[in-house]
Structure 1
């Protein structure tokens, strides 16, 4: 069995073991705050038949004490008399098959301890399985993509590092139900189908790619910047503009079909806005905005509060991997660099650039699928270097995994804070499991 297959098996076994040895789903510490709003569409449609007003939700909050009792968290009344859920609908589609399984089980069980209300324990367990399934599906497809450019060893290490040395791990096993891991999987699927499109020329991949981009849009709209990948993919027989135009002209019916499919998927979100807010295009983040003229890029990358490179140092190594990638696949490195630049600019132009209570820069999780390319290039290059350098690099990788696991544990157990960390508190709490509330208050006041 290849090393990359073993890495997938190891990842799946570890994720299952870690997740079901946690207390989140047993103590009903799920389906709250953002996660609960992403999920809310499912019980609203299939159980309560109340997508427009969400009148069922206050009772659910009271029964399960979600959101610390806040019954209208990010639910905005509209002039139409209806209520808009701030969060996009896409995440609920990933959870839908598992939700239906849980709902069927609760109906058949007829157990007062497991009412078919959309929020009892079976529903929470199925949300756990949904994210484990889709993350592993993403890694599986990413493996198939990476093996077309890199060695099996480089691919295996890349998959393990993405899963356990980044905050993808935290949002897969601890903070379950956010949109980012599902978006990560969409990015993985997009990479694979883009490569297949230009390698084979088969029209079905145009349709698949369009459908994936539609799901990207309704899962996290700002991620549509990933459309740069299929539009400017530098491989196949379409490297020049005339060649690409000729290729696309030959696929006009597939392009038309793909465009229609993309719009149909997008209409799910737009239709929801029309139904609730009375207009097709509605900005549901009513109290937030972009600051494109004053982006927070330095803070977003290097801040002790949420810096991407600070809390996910393997992302910095992946960025360095653009150099060996440029030697191996120059045009691909330029595409990845362009994608990274656009993404960093958009993500950190958001007014709440830290994205609230979170571990590291959660808005960059999906981009890890694209950054897998330079990371694999870096690993492949390092394995051509002298043995001492290889050993040092592997030690650094192990430290990145250890740091990520430890800091995830710290955050879940309140040994650190979800937001507003500063330099003094970061280094005081570094490696410690005895941080008190008094320590937090004293050090976080130092600005």
Structure 2
């Protein structure tokens, strides 16, 4: 690192006590990093071999490409999209699409990731065009091209993060930090198993943003500002909540605005640099106007999903056995503490970013973000967070104080623990969700799955209907109520505060006594709903279909102390309802 670079780097705050590797000593760390990157590529390719990768959420992110360049049907009003669901089965339902009243359909997600996917799409399209595979956007050439393109793009993120750290610190610290991020956190499993999910690609964009900040700080000008703004535009267009990334150039580049600032030096010609943001934003708004009829469109119209910034799930999201970020990636605590070693404006800027990021992520109604190892939603921000780990390594390598060994031990121990737990996850010992404290400790040293420990997990909410044998074996009756169903109150049957029914994470309710015509039973069903802050946020539903008894599992609650349970009997036939008395028996799990 040159003397000029040392003076400009915001992370160099004190004199070196021990010698650091020089610029020409970077060959060995780079070779080691290349081996790490190759291992990531091999890991991803082997885990995704023979699989379709354009599935689930990634299917929705990707759908812009075939809709635009193959079918020329952005509003998805033609039947080709339905055929894709039948032929390739990307998901059990079409949750990625929002049906509009005029027959058009709007993709739930914004288009940023489709832009990032596009090189893989075009390569796949060329291969499909010269072979016998269908040129429909989803056949094997597209799947393989997308897999390898995203692998390469994610590997680029590791390289950019390394180069950023190499410039700010030295090759050794850069290498150790990158190795600990890859193998000591949930980055590897998040970015290279669920390969097309946004977190690995956004990790690359965050690393690219840091590199762009370096270039703008050292050489402020229109070109460097254009690159910086373009990266920010892609991040926000990929996930709008990444808007907080604008804090990074503000706190990293020093004085960004005002007299004598970097922007002040280019202010006469600065406006062209913001054209990418304006163009990409306008195109997204044009798409919303075309398909949904509004320039600004909130696509998450499902009551089960959305932001509630007033009530973030901080304790569960950070420390729970189920999906706590700091619990499953404890080395992140070391990284966050490392920001205390930086200059004041950098420290507070970074900590504000981290706090805002945590707050926004954990304000999502489904705060556990489905199945993953640890909390996947934090992975994209690791380039910012783990600068703090580099600062810790710098301090410990340059100082011979008594805290040096304990700090290094903690970093290595936390990294090794996360690596072992990652191995358990890939060998089906740890599930992607439902983990409890009892299950965690019972399987702590396990090297293979054990059937007898499965009862220690949280209830399986993907089970269509609870098994009566499981209900009899693992549950005990807590209360029995008889409720009168009146047709003038249709479809309402029963309402009660969740906390009055159980103190656990779920309950079962057995419903008997209903009187429905046998010929019409397939058009009657019970809905057990959770009402949170005045909105139905989740529900479980079962048709009667010739059964005298219905057993329902309570849906996932958001706030157990304030949520309400609502039971409804829904009639989709033309046959009139009749008044009747229903018997409700509530059950609570005996263990866990």
* Global fold match (TM > 0.5): yes
| Among 59, 68, 84, the residue aligned to 1:36 | 59
Verify: 1:281 aligned to 2:306, yes or no: no
Relative distance call for 1:321 and 1:105 in structure 2 (3 A) is same
Relative distance call for 1:6 and 1:335 in structure 2 (3 A) is farther
Aligned equivalents of 1:37 and 1:431: distance in 2? Answer: 38
Q: What is the match of residue 107 of structure 1?
A: 129
1:214-256 CA deviation, whole Å, 9 max, x = no partner? 1011111101101011123353xx3785433xx4344224431
CA deviation after TM superposition for structure 1 residue 196, in Å: 1.7
Aligned equivalents of 1:196 and 1:26: distance in 2? Answer: 41
**What SS is found at the alignment partner of 1:84?**
strand
Structure with greater strand percent: 2
Q: CA RMSD in A?
A: 2.4
Verify: 1:173 aligned to 2:192, yes or no: yes
Aligned equivalents of 2:97 and 2:417: distance in 1? Answer: 36
**What SS is found at the alignment partner of 1:103?**
helix
Q: What is the match of residue 65 of structure 1?
A: 89
Relative distance call for 1:400 and 1:58 in structure 2 (3 A) is farther
Aligned equivalents of 2:51 and 2:381: distance in 1? Answer: 32
CA deviation after TM superposition for structure 1 residue 276, in Å: 1.1
Q: Which TM-score applies when normalising by structure 1?
A: 0.89
Aligned equivalents of 1:116 and 1:310: distance in 2? Answer: 45
Q: What is the match of residue 30 of structure 2?
A: 5
1:282-313 CA deviation, whole Å, 9 max, x = no partner? 11111222222211122211111111111112
Deviates further, 351-360 or 374-383: 351-360
| 8 Å contact kept, 1:424–1:444 | no
Aligned equivalents of 2:290 and 2:176: distance in 1? Answer: 47
Which consecutive unaligned segments of at least 5 residues does structure 1 have?
Answer: none
CA deviation after TM superposition for structure 1 residue 148, in Å: 2.6
Deviates further, 378-387 or 70-79: 378-387
Q: What is the match of residue 46 of structure 2?
A: 21
Deviates further, 126-135 or 368-377: 126-135
For the pair shown, the structure with the greater C-alpha radius of gyration is 2
**What is the 5 A alignment of 1:19-168?**
19-22=44-47, 24-28=48-52, 30-53=53-76, 55-67=79-91, 70-110=92-132, 114-168=133-187
Aligned equivalents of 2:450 and 2:220: distance in 1? Answer: 60
1:398-438 CA deviation, whole Å, 9 max, x = no partner? 54444444434444554333223221222223342443555
Q: What is the match of residue 272 of structure 2?
A: 257
| 8 Å contact kept, 1:38–1:89 | yes
Q: What is the match of residue 378 of structure 1?
A: 392
Q: What is the match of residue 184 of structure 1?
A: 203
Q: What is the match of residue 485 of structure 2?
A: none
Q: What is the match of residue 320 of structure 1?
A: 337
Aligned equivalents of 1:141 and 1:72: distance in 2? Answer: 36
| 8 Å contact kept, 2:56–2:90 | yes
Aligned equivalents of 2:152 and 2:406: distance in 1? Answer: 34
**What is the 5 A alignment of 1:410-421?**
410-421=424-435
Aligned equivalents of 1:201 and 1:305: distance in 2? Answer: 45
**What is the 5 A alignment of 1:232-247?**
232-235=251-254, 238=255, 241-244=258-261, 247=262
| 8 Å contact kept, 1:3–1:153 | no
CA deviation after TM superposition for structure 1 residue 141, in Å: 2.0
| Among 360, 373, 376, the residue aligned to 1:346 | 360
**What SS is found at the alignment partner of 2:106?**
strand
| 8 Å contact kept, 2:37–2:155 | yes
How many aligned residue pairs are there?
433
Structure with greater helix percent: 1
1:24-46 CA deviation, whole Å, 9 max, x = no partner? 24133x22211222222222222
Relative distance call for 1:272 and 1:434 in structure 2 (3 A) is same
Which consecutive unaligned segments of at least 5 residues does structure 2 have?
Answer: 1-25, 460-590
**What SS is found at the alignment partner of 2:130?**
helix
| 8 Å contact kept, 1:164–1:401 | yes
State the structure with bigger RCO (CA 8 A, min sep 6), 1 or 2: 1
Aligned equivalents of 1:83 and 1:253: distance in 2? Answer: 43
Aligned equivalents of 1:352 and 1:295: distance in 2? Answer: 11
Relative distance call for 1:407 and 1:424 in structure 2 (3 A) is same
Deviates further, 288-297 or 413-422: 413-422
1:128-167 CA deviation, whole Å, 9 max, x = no partner? 2122211222222222222232121111111112222222
| Among 340, 348, 353, the residue aligned to 1:334 | 348
